[in-house]
Amino acid sequence: MPYKIIIFAFLAGSTVFVGGLLSYFFEKTVLNREIKIEIIHFLTAFATGIMLAAVAFVLIPEGMDNLSVSSSVLIFLLGAVVFYFLDEFIHKNSASIPQFLSMLLDFIPESIALGAVFMYDYQTGVLLAIFIACQNLPEAFTSYIELRSSAFTKVKALTMLFFLSFIGVIFSLIGFYLLKDNTELTSSLMLFAAGGILYLIFQDIAPSMKLKNSRFIAFGVNLGFIIGMLGEALV
């Protein structure tokens, strides 16, 4: 079983570096500033739709499956509260790269949950891996642009995304070995991550999507959510 977790965690994490590479070539080839801005905003919306799908189809239903309603609500709210303080700390100390750090914040608990859930629900593990992979790609794309605009060199920005792509494997294995026999703790982690992700979406990501004179951007959320619907149907 660990080798399957490593494979799926690697595939889910590899899209971080792939997204960075795509963004690198995008920066070199697309020179029209207005088109660049629209594409970046659309991809941000697309990633948001996938994150919402992960919360709706995997993290919350699977999390509530092994916990009482009151425990589920409390843990969900705890995730939001913890991410609130982390977000505040990030903006005070690293305000120049909030999107990159937000990607890191939701990638880690999702990866731990991925490793833990594989032990008792293989199909849900595969679905979560698909969500993480699809979510990381547009997030990494916009994170690279954010890093470049914050005076990071191309090599340094890509190097950061390259090493981040392997973090998922590490934390998935941690989740597998430490949480594989504890379904309640795994469920708690999933609800905690769901609460934190929803907070980040509506605090940091959704406000940045709005673009003057462009109503089409919001459709990216719908398209991203469709990825989740298709994944749920197929798996």
- Quote the pLDDT of residue 72: 95
Containing domain of residue 134, as a range? 2-234
pLDDT grade for 64, boundaries at 50, 70 and 90:
very high
Give dist(CA 183, CA 165) in Å, integer. 26
Give the H or E element holding residue 167. Answer: helix 154-179
Computed over its alpha carbons, how large is the radius of gyration of the chain? 17
- The pLDDT assigned to 77 comes to 96
Q: How confident is the model at residue 94 (pLDDT cuts 50, 70, 90)?
A: low
> Which pLDDT belongs to residue 182?
82
Which of 8-12, 32-36, 55-59, 122-126 comes out lowest in average pLDDT?
32-36
pLDDT value, residue 209:
66
Domain count across the chain? 1
pTM: 0.81
Compute the distance between CA of residue 155 and CA of residue 169 in angstroms, rounded to an integer: 23
pLDDT digits (tens, 9 = 90+) for 173-186: 988 888 877 888 88
pLDDT category of residue 95 using cuts at 50, 70 and 90: low
Higher pLDDT, 165 or 2: 165
DSSP secondary structure letter of residue 211: B
pLDDT band of 76, cuts 50, 70, 90: very high
Rounded CA gap, 93 and 85, in Å?
12
Residue, of 97 and 22, whose pLDDT is higher:
22
Residue pointed to by tokens 């994490």: 13
Cα distance between residue 227 and residue 15, in whole Å:
15
pLDDT tier at 235, thresholds 50, 70, 90: low
- Say whether pLDDT at 208 is over 60: yes
> Tens of pLDDT along 106-155?
788 888 888 888 877 788 888 888 888 888 888 888 888 888 888 788 89
User: What is the number of other CB atoms lying within 10 angstroms of the CB of residue 151?
Assistant: 8
Residue 211 pLDDT level (bands cut at 50, 70, 90): low
Lowest mean pLDDT among 29-38, 212-221, 225-234: 212-221
Mean pLDDT in the chain?
84
